[in-house]
Amino acid sequence: MAVSSSPSSKKQETIHFDPSAPPPFKVADIRAAIPAHCWVKNPWRSLGYVLRDILVISSLVAIAVLFKNCSWVWPVYWVAQGTMFWAIFVLGHDCGHGSFSDIPNLNSIVGHILHSAILVPYHGWRISHRTHHQNHGHVENDESWVPLTEKTYTKLDAPTKLLRFKVPLPLFAYPLYLWKRSPGKSGSHFNPYSDMFAPNERGYIVTSTLCWTLMVAILVYLSTVIGPTLLFKLYIVPYLIFVMWLDFVTYLHHHGHEQKLPWYRGKEWSYLRGGLTTVDRDYGIFNNIHHDIGTHVVHHLFPQIPHYHLIEATNAAKPVLGNYYREPKKSGPIPIHLIDNLVRSIKQDHYVSDSGDIVYYQTDYRMMGKKIE
């Protein structure tokens, strides 16, 4: 006769759970648990989300212009429009993964339009983001918010440490990352000869850089038509809000959990173990607006799944994942609870050891203003 575990024993099991232990299941086991229809991409449904977001963005511009003399309108517009810029970034991101549709040309066209509109080089970022997914959780080979080794960290100059570890400055890191990547890595998302890209990908990078340049030219032209002040209010401030959203969300996908999560090297790393260090987050009223990008664990393991199936796929995968899935803390309408996770992690998670195949973030207490005896 089976004896069910008491709530206290289950809590004890969770407390002693080692997130770095090799999981007792395989990627194929998770895949098998996800319903077949969750893998189906509907291009019309995907385009419907694009149309929805463009209509909202256009309406916000119209309202802001109509009431441009009302000072209270602008802060509301900036937050709303910056959030919508972030929403169309997510749809462009889906194009890059091929989860938007099974039609490569459609993905490329829509991806270029959406990403260029918010000054993101579509192919440059698509390829580096692919590298991130293929190497998630790997200390050296990961690409997004990759941890610094102690050796690299100690070589950082004071301004770089300030930009990376002093809130809120890291929330504006994305444009710098596009131009010069992270500390310890070299290359640019705009340079076809960057070591991020294979020789046969250089044509893609040239195309995306040209699209990005065209968007900059359009913005310069608009500034001569409507004036730089109005352009600053209508586009530049929302763009900065979008950048903050992007850095906020992408950082919290891989950092700031209540329990420190492992990073891997060498034989200890695998696609599955790296993907299981990803964290789901609840963003309250923004979940639907930004296309459930906070439902991130299953997305990281299976980026081919369309965003509108991620919640169902995650619910189906949970019984297989067990303790390796970290249930996100329920958010109120506004996810203010995540600010603490962000601030705490940026203040404490500075570098990882130069050696060891399973490592955890360590803290430079001098950065926290504490004296080392």
What are the domain boundaries of the chain?
33-368
First to last CA, the chain: 58
Alpha-carbon span 83 to 73, nearest angstrom: 16
Question: What's the average model confidence in pLDDT over 313-323?
Answer: 97
pLDDT in tens, 178-194: 999 888 888 999 999 99
Alpha-carbon span 112 to 42, nearest angstrom: 19
The reported pTM is 0.92
Confidence of residue 371 (pLDDT cuts 50, 70, 90): low
The reply to whether omega before 75 is within 30° of 0 (cis) is no
pLDDT at residue 62, rounded to an integer = 97
pLDDT in tens, 104-142: 999 999 999 999 999 999 999 999 999 999 999 999 999
pLDDT in tens, 226-270: 999 999 999 999 999 999 999 999 999 999 998 899 999 999 999
For residue 200, the one-letter residue type is N
Confidence of residue 21 (pLDDT cuts 50, 70, 90): very high
267: its two tokens: 């034989």
54-63, 123-132, 176-185, 361-370: range with lowest mean pLDDT? 361-370
pLDDT at residue 6, rounded to an integer = 44
Question: What's the average model confidence in pLDDT over 276-298?
Answer: 96
DSSP-assigned beta bridge partners for residue 264: 138, 358
Closest by Cα among 126, 19, 46, 88 to 305: 46
